């Protein structure tokens, strides 16, 4: 912990006073040197909620005092991808905690505020909102847009950390029957509490177990962890014409995992990546939260102070972080 200069406010951006920020496995990957965008010294943290403290002169839609969150991809708003409405794959994206200093701090700068800020509904706590920008929103879009989950579908979720538990919750809310897979008993218990119908311990031939319990394979399978083993198991868990969604980051030694492409061809499987969700897509998700259909506050495992963030980050690599999300309240 140290004092650093306050971030400068971008002309088209804002400075937020951080009210809560999540500790995510993506932060752990960055700390481990798996992200080339990071140069030291650096402030991590990319899942955040905050209050607008300062507004740049070009910003039109925001004012000091506004309570907001932000997608982890801060889009430029003008590239071809952005103009097509696909800001989550912006060609000139910036990311707090990766390309820029992040939210493990009291203040954080956010660029292109009119494109990227999301107004929080009245009554939503900062702790709940902090998990939306990365894990929950990514899982929401993975299940609803890429997975196209329908009532009665079997959905397999490989890895039940924050993003996996989010996927379980969203899939169950869509009327799906969920198989949750994790090596941690605590994570499996958490998945069951979110509505997973079947939990598997992640050992042995996971794909064969999924085929057995679903009667032929899942319609949709998500790798919510990000490893060679879970990516392959997710593809092999599918029924014919099923859909695999890669949500967990594949970094370090897992950057280029071998996948069973013969199965993909022979069974006409669909393979998607899921990289967050653009700010303009948040209202539908927030409406379902406001109605009580989705309750991301249940995914928060614990809250900690900023001085505890380094130990929480290290715990992610040791498998000692506990189920659910850890959220820092500065």
CATH number at residue 28: 3.90.180.10
**Does the residue 93 lie in any domain?**
yes
Do the beta carbons of residue 210 and residue 180 sit within 8 Å? no
Is residue 130 situated within a structural domain?
A: yes
Could you report the per-residue pLDDT of 215-224, keeping only the tens digit for each? 999 999 999 9
Band (pLDDT 50/70/90 cuts) for residue 25 is confident
Query: Is there a domain that residue 9 lies in?
Result: no
* Interatomic CA distance for residues 289 and 299, integer angstroms: 13
Q: For the stretch 120-147, what's the b/e string if a residue is b when 16 or more beta carbons lie within 10 angstroms of its beta carbon?
A: beeebebbbbbbbbbbbbbbbbbbbebb
Same domain for 165 and 43: no
pLDDT band at 256 (very low <50, low <70, confident <90, very high): confident
Count of other CB atoms within 10 angstroms of residue 149: 25
- Cβ atoms < 10 Å from Cβ of 150: 12
**Residue 5 within a domain:** no
Is the residue at 103 inside a domain?
yes
CA 126 to chain centroid: 16
Residue 203 sits in a domain of what CATH number? 3.40.50.720
Rounded to an integer, what distance in angstroms lies between the CA atom of residue 261 and that of residue 231? 12
**Is residue 312 pLDDT above 70, yes or no?**
yes
Number of domains in the chain: 2
What is the tens place of the pLDDT at every residue in 185-220?
A: 999 999 999 999 999 999 999 999 999 999 999 999
The mean of the pLDDT values for the chain is 94
Does residue 175 share a domain with residue 125?
A: no
Give the Cα separation of 303 and 319 in Å (integer).
18
In-domain check, residue 300? yes
What is the rounded distance in angstroms from the CA atom of residue 57 to the CA atom of residue 60?
Answer: 8
Tokens of 315: 């715990």
Cβ atoms of residues 108 and 102 within 8 Å: yes
Task: Check residues 255 and 232 and name the one with the higher pLDDT.
Answer: 232
From residue 323, give the alpha-carbon distance in Å to each of 24, 202, 261.
12, 16, 33
Residue with structure tokens 């009532």? 151
Q: What is the pTM of this model?
A: 0.92
Q: Does 304 share its domain with 266? A: no
Sign of CA dihedral 207, 209, 210, 214: positive
Buried b (16+ CB within 10 A) or exposed e, 90-106: beebbbbbbebbbbbbb
Q: Are residues 303 and 206 in the same domain?
A: no
Contacts of 229 (CB under 8 A, 6+ apart): none
Residues 147 and 219 in one domain: yes
**212 shares a domain with 167:** yes
Q: How confident is the model at residue 319 (pLDDT cuts 50, 70, 90)?
A: low
Which of 226, 246, 273 corresponds to the end of one domain? 273
Same domain, 163 and 245: yes
Do residues 169 and 283 share a domain? Answer: no
136 has a pLDDT exceeding 70: yes
In a domain, 4, yes or no: no
Judge if 35 and 119 occupy the same domain: yes
pLDDT digits (tens, 9 = 90+) for 29-41: 889 888 888 989 9
CA separation for the pair 128, 109 (Å, rounded): 21
| 58 and 118 within one domain | yes
List of residues 6+ apart from 322 with CB closer than 8 A: 186, 301, 302
Q: Are residues 243 and 218 in the same domain?
A: yes
Domain that holds residue 54: 14-134+277-328
Q: Of 4, 6, 7, which Cα lies nearest the Cα of 100?
A: 7
**Last residue in a domain, options 229, 252, 273:** 273
Q: Give domain status of residue 296, yes or no.
A: yes
Same structural domain for residues 101 and 154?
no
Question: HSE of 180 in the Cβ direction (CA atoms, 13 Å)?
Answer: 32
């Amino acid at each position: 912990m140290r004092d650093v200069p306050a971030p400068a406010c971008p002309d088209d951006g804002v400075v937020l006073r951080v009210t809560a920020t999540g500790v995510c496995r993506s932060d752990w990957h960055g700390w481990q040197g798996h992200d080339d965008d990071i140069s030291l010294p650096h402030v991590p943290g990319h899942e955040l909620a905050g209050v607008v403290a300062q507004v740049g002169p070009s910003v039109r839609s925001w004012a000091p005092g506004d309570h907001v969150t932000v997608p982890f991809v801060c889009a430029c708003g003008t590239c071809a991808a952005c103009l097509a409405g696909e800001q989550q794959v912006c060609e000139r994206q910036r990311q707090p905690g990766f390309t820029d200093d992040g939210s493990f701090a009291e203040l954080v700068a956010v660029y292109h505020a009119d494109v990227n800020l999301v107004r929080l509904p009245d009554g939503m706590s900062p702790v709940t909102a902090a998990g939306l920008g990365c894990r929950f929103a990514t899982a929401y879009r993975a299940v609803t847009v890429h997975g196209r989950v329908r009532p009665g579908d079997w959905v397999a979720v490989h890895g039940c950390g924050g993003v996996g538990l989010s996927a379980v919750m969203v899939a169950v809310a869509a009327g799906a029957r969920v198989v949750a897979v994790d090596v941690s008993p605590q994570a499996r218990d958490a998945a069951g509490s979110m509505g997973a119908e079947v939990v598997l311990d992640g050992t042995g031939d996971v794909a064969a177990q999924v085929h057995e319990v679903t009667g032929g394979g899942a319609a949709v399978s998500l790798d919510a962890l990000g490893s060679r083993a879970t990516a392959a198991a997710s593809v092999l868990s599918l029924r014919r014409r099923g859909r695999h969604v890669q949500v967990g980051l594949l970094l370090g030694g897992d950057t280029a995992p071998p996948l069973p492409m013969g199965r993909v061809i022979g069974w006409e499987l669909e393979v998607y990546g899921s990289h967050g969700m653009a700010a303009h897509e948040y209202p539908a998700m927030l409406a379902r939260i406001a109605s009580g259909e989705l309750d991301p506050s249940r995914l928060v495992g614990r809250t900690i102070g900023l001085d505890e963030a380094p130990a929480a980050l290290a715990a992610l690599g040791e498998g000692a972080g506990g189920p659910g999300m850890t959220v820092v309240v500065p």
